[in-house]
Structure 1
């Protein structure tokens, strides 16, 4: 009997996760680091030391376990950022850097947790006006397991609003969003309860066609985490409950027109949305944040619950120990 109880207790610890708990809290962030380029390419300016330092300060304020990055330079720049964060006390030992069709800027991840699986969507394309175009930055997809709980992240940096000669920028952005939505639909078809987040710089507003395409509708609709500043704002919009709350949730500043807007998102599958801790999700307020980037980080916190099977074994272990 004693051996049986020991086995049950050990199984409960293993299935409950590396911390030996039925629940784990983890934090996911996204951040466009605005041309974090440290080596000459395409006549782009190199990231100045003061700007690099402000990026580090902003990430430290976010305290992420996993962070998706946009506008990252070469992998050497990512490794330098990783080393600087570690020296400041934030160790994110696992990296993923995706190179697609944009030679200068990329999407990437830094993570405290190892990646169970990496899927590089680095050759996505679409037809527009009879012409084959590519998703410039691609989509980076990673899967992470925390004991019995797993989740996936897909980060994207959609086409900017800058006009280009090859096609209409808005149509290009919409087509990129539709390509990404096909990946989302495939994941939900395979597992409607899958835990995943689609996050990054979508370069458009919530009611725009590209973001609406990503959000979707019906049972496969994604949930907008939409955190805001921790400044005391709370509750629904009391003027019109159908509108978004009037909390401070902007993520980007466009200096040419002096406009603040929300174009960076963390969209959640129905399964993962159930574990969102809204009270501990926020946009960090960092003095002189704009010295680092024209974007601000978006931070979400989740409470991962063990699967039903793991919870059942943990309960049996508790009963066995209580009456042993």
Structure 2
């Protein structure tokens, strides 16, 4: 089976030019550039970079029976929250269409933040997608929009797929990023908790494969797991503590020491379900104490989640 891959130059709201197909699993992936007819080179001499993860709560331009159009006020607030953090690489969850991603990118551009590179994974969920914006170019794109697994003996697909790209930060430093958004807590007949556990198992399989191939890769996993740290799905993704392929959860917090990243209005519950996780090889490059939860006053206008971020020094140690 093949990945239907699309990449190419994209001007301001231009047309994506298809590139040759290849890869794993049936998929529809998009990677594109902002205006400027040539690919940008890695940025030399960068002392620190900021990587952020943000669930932007149904960032849609059209709406549907299940989701409303995100208002201009909310979209402006999302851009404001991001601009306050000034990320170099921005992982996103709950992006609607490619046009919605471009809408956000244009709002960021007006605030002085240009992300020449974007990855968008069109998984089975027609309304919510994972995406990535970056100042730095790709050297590998291995995102999977169709990730199969077995649920009670029946074939299923991870609903948002897995984003998987490697960026070249400078000529001597590459960073591999895996972005995910596991099944929500909304009830489903087969059991939403079980679905998350199985999606997490598939994700752990991807991580193991990456680290088996190259134990020294700089790997950062980000996204909305829809579970807290003590839940089986998150424990499975992290792996056994102390083992070579285990991941480290970065305990981001806001200036007041609070770590919650999501507010569930219907149950009036605050929880920490968004994560940045790194492998052993990447840990030495992290800036100590840099993992943070955004404390923007705009957070509730923007989303039911808060943005999380951390800084690293792009130099192998």
1:24 deviates by 3.0
- The structure carrying a bigger helix percent of its residues is 1
1:278 deviates by 2.9
Alpha-carbon displacement from aligned partner over 1:289-313 (angstroms, at most 9, x marks no partner): 1111000000010012157xxxxxx
Which residue of the other structure, out of 229, 233, 258, is the alignment partner of 2:254?
A: 229
Say what the alpha-carbon RMSD is for the aligned residues: 1.4
How many correspondences in the alignment? 273
2: CA distance, partners of 1:74 / 1:61 = 25
1:53 partner SS: helix
Task: Structure 2 unaligned segments of length 5 or more: list them.
Answer: 1-41
Tell me which residue corresponds to 1:273. 283
1:43 deviates by 4.5
Which residue of the other structure, out of 181, 186, 202, is the alignment partner of 1:162?
A: 186
Tell me which residue corresponds to 2:173. 149
Tell me which residue corresponds to 1:65. 88
Task: Structure 1 unaligned segments of length 5 or more: list them.
Answer: 1-16, 232-246, 308-324
- Which 4+ residue blocks in structure 1 deviate beyond 6 angstroms? none
Tell me which residue corresponds to 2:303. 293
1:160 partner SS: coil
Which residue of the other structure, out of 77, 91, 108, is the alignment partner of 2:114?
A: 91
TM-score normalised by L of structure 1: 0.81
Q: Structure 1 pair 18/130, CA: closer, same or farther in 2 (3 Å)?
A: closer
Alpha-carbon displacement from aligned partner over 1:136-156 (angstroms, at most 9, x marks no partner): 000000101121111100000
Do structure 1's residue 123 and structure 2's residue 146 form an aligned pair?
Answer: yes
Higher relative CO (Cα under 8 Å, sequence separation at least 6) belongs to: 1
1:41 deviates by 3.3
Do structure 1's residue 38 and structure 2's residue 61 form an aligned pair?
Answer: yes
On the 8 A contact 2:285/2:316 being kept in 1, the answer is no
1:46 deviates by 0.1
